[in-house]
């Protein structure tokens, strides 16, 4: 590969002759790893013109570098970085004065992010990955996704691909959400009541930003989705974590005054509890009594392979006080970053203005590809395929858990993709997790889902969305052994 001449600059404050400066510039490029063995340098004529020096100066510099084996000449084709050039230094030198700024002072706040779970990014290389929410190559309909993406790259869709939507969304995707996704959850909405987001995480973030602030109180479930905790922690507001039970968030335990209640009624995260109908009504009544809003995270409702999903809480909402969060990532793949918010127009208008300011809009090509994939029925087909496979894996898993006497703390009556587990009191599952990882078994320890000093240490989550059925039994056996070892 030829190195573009535009990437060469002489340092304005450099010392020494021009020739020495050029030599140093190239040697530093090689030592920093920027210029690599075998890459072609610009011709001396070109580099001289670019730097504004005479050609002979460049030629002399090249010749010197050749003598020290940084560069090599190939017949008639010019100078290349020599195959014998020194190895790049392991760590390029830091700008000397990086300490001129006191970064502890310069940063206006400290942001913690538990978006990154205790899970290696190369999880797919582990033999027993009980990891949650990752794309399983065996399940994802890559071929049709590709075709839809190619269609969305076509000349006809040039505008959808390239347009700056400013604060708008792809109308085709919005229409599909209104006509197909939401009716399945019992929700009717108008286009002005929907906002496409960069995944459910982004939707929760936008809702929290628009609804919370100084003097406001948020309620979240305990345990709950860790990134929600981070999002709320970064807003100047009061946060109360309310312990969930086997039916999810108990309305009776809500504080007397609160403004926004974050809940996962259809599939509590991480316990998998489904909130029964009477409690949903009680929750809405409790919200009404407090003049509070409810943010419903309806993740994973598509994975209802054991029984049909109950309609969303939002479908019972006559007041317009429920904000609904949906996502396509669970069925498609998490790297997609595509979800949506549904709520009353004044709320959506503000969330849209904030989204425009933060990032403008989710990329047009991804919105259009998803619209095609959904409209052509591939999404529904994928749900069916996943449901069959997850049902099978779940059965294998349940049998294995029973065999080894492991305690299921929550399993979701409708399906889902994980079990919420409980080890004997006194077992620190984060330690067990680390042991298991060395044994090629990946699990999630439960502590990161809890809030408060008294967070139990003996919970864990086992997902079956990314592990083949025939590895489940052995994986569970290793987990059981590790827990036994830890209890001893």
Largest CA distance in the chain: 87
The Cα–Cα gap between 212 and 87 comes to 53
Tell me: does residue 106 bind a copy of itself (CB under 8 A): yes
How far apart are CB 178 and a copy of itself at their closest, in Å? Answer: 8
Would you give the distance in Å from CA 486 to the centre of its chain? 32
Which string of x and - marks every residue 279-318 that binds a copy of itself (by CB under 8 A)?
---------x--x-x--------------x--x---xxxx
Nearer to a copy of itself, 52 or 405 (CB): 52
Determine the Cα–Cα distance for residues 304 and 412; give it in Å rounded to an integer: 9
Reported residue count of the chain is 488
Per CB under 8 A, 358 contacts a copy of itself: yes
Asked if 226 interacts with a copy of itself (CB under 8 A), we say no
Between 211 and 249, CB nearer to a copy of itself: 211
- β-strands 293-297, 441-442 pairing: unpaired
Residues 398-427 binding a copy of itself (CB under 8 A) are: none
Q: Does 112 bind a copy of itself (CB under 8 A)?
A: yes
Which parts of 162-201 interact with a copy of itself (CB under 8 A)? 162-168, 178-180, 183-184, 186, 188, 190, 198-199, 201
- Interaction of residue 334 with a copy of itself, rule CB under 8 A: yes
**Residue 11 or 74: which CB sits closer to a copy of itself?**
11
Token pair for residue 351? 């969330």
Given 251, 265, 364, 415, the residue binding a copy of itself (CB under 8 A): 364
Site for a copy of itself in 425-464 (CB under 8 A): none
373 CB-contact burial (10 Å; exposed 0-12 / middle 13-18 / buried 19+): buried
Q: Looking at 15, 67, 90, 98, which residue binds a copy of itself (CB under 8 A)? A: 98
In this complex, which beta carbon is closest to a copy of itself, that of residue 131 or of residue 401?
Answer: 131
What is the secondary structure of 99-132 as a DSSP string? GGS-HHHHSS-------S-S--TTGGGSSEE--S
Residues 121-150 binding a copy of itself (CB under 8 A) are: 121, 124, 133-135, 137, 140, 142, 145-146, 149-150
CA distances from 274 to 32, 197, 267, 415 (A): 56, 25, 5, 10
Q: For residue 353, state whether it binds a copy of itself (rule: CB under 8 A).
A: yes
39/30 Cα distance (integer angstroms): 10
């Amino acid at each position: 590969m030829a190195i573009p001449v535009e990437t060469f600059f002489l340092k304005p404050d450099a010392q020494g002759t021009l020739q020495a400066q050029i030599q140093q510039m190239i040697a530093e490029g090689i030592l920093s790893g920027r210029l690599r063995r075998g890459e072609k340098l610009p011709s001396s004529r070109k580099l001289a013109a670019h730097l504004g020096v005479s050609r002979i100066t460049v030629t002399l510099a090249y010749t010197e570098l050749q003598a020290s084996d940084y560069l090599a000449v190939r017949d008639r084709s010019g100078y290349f970085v020599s195959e014998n050039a020194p190895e790049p230094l392991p760590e390029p030198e830091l700008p000397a004065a990086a300490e001129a700024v006191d970064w502890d002072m310069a940063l206006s706040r400290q942001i913690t992010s538990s978006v990154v779970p205790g899970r290696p990014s190369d999880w797919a290389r582990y033999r027993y990955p009980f990891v949650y929410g990752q794309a399983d190559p065996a399940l994802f309909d890559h071929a049709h996704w590709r075709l839809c993406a190619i269609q969305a790259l076509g000349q006809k869709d040039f505008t959808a691909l390239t347009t700056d939507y400013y604060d708008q969304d792809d109308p085709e995707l919005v229409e599909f959400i209104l006509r197909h996704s939401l009716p399945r959850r019992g929700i009717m909405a108008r286009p002005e009541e929907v906002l496409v987001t960069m995944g459910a995480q982004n939707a929760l973030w936008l809702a929290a930003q628009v609804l919370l602030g100084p003097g406001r109180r948020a309620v979240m479930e305990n345990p709950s989705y860790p990134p929600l905790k981070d999002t709320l922690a970064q807003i100047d507001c009061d946060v109360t974590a309310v312990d969930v039970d086997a039916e999810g968030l108990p309305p009776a335990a809500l504080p007397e005054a609160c403004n926004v209640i974050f809940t996962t009624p259809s599939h509590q995260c991480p316990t998998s509890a489904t909130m029964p109908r009477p409690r949903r009504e009680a929750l809405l009544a409790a919200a009404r009594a407090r003049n509070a809003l409810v943010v419903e995270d309806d993740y994973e409702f598509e994975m209802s392979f054991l029984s049909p999903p109950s309609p969303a809480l939002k479908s019972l909402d006559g007041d317009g006080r429920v904000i609904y969060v949906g996502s396509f990532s669970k069925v498609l793949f998490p790297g997609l970053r595509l979800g949506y918010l549904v709520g009353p127009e004044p709320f959506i208008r503000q969330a849209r203005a904030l989204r425009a300011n933060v990032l403008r809009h989710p990329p047009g090509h991804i919105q259009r590809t998803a619209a095609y994939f959904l409209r052509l029925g591939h999404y529904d087909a994928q749900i069916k395929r996943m449901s069959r496979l997850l049902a099978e894996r779940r059965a294998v898993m349940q049998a294995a858990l029973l065999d080894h006497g492991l305690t299921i703390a929550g399993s979701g009556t409708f399906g889902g993709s994980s079990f919420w587990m409980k080890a004997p009191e006194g077992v620190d599952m984060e330690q067990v997790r680390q042991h298991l990882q060395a044994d090629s078994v990946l699990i999630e320890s439960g502590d990161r889902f809890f809030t408060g000093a008294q967070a139990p240490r003996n919970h864990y989550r086992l997902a079956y969305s990314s592990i083949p059925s025939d590895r489940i039994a052995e994986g569970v056996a290793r987990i059981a052994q590790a827990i036994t070892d830890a209890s001893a």
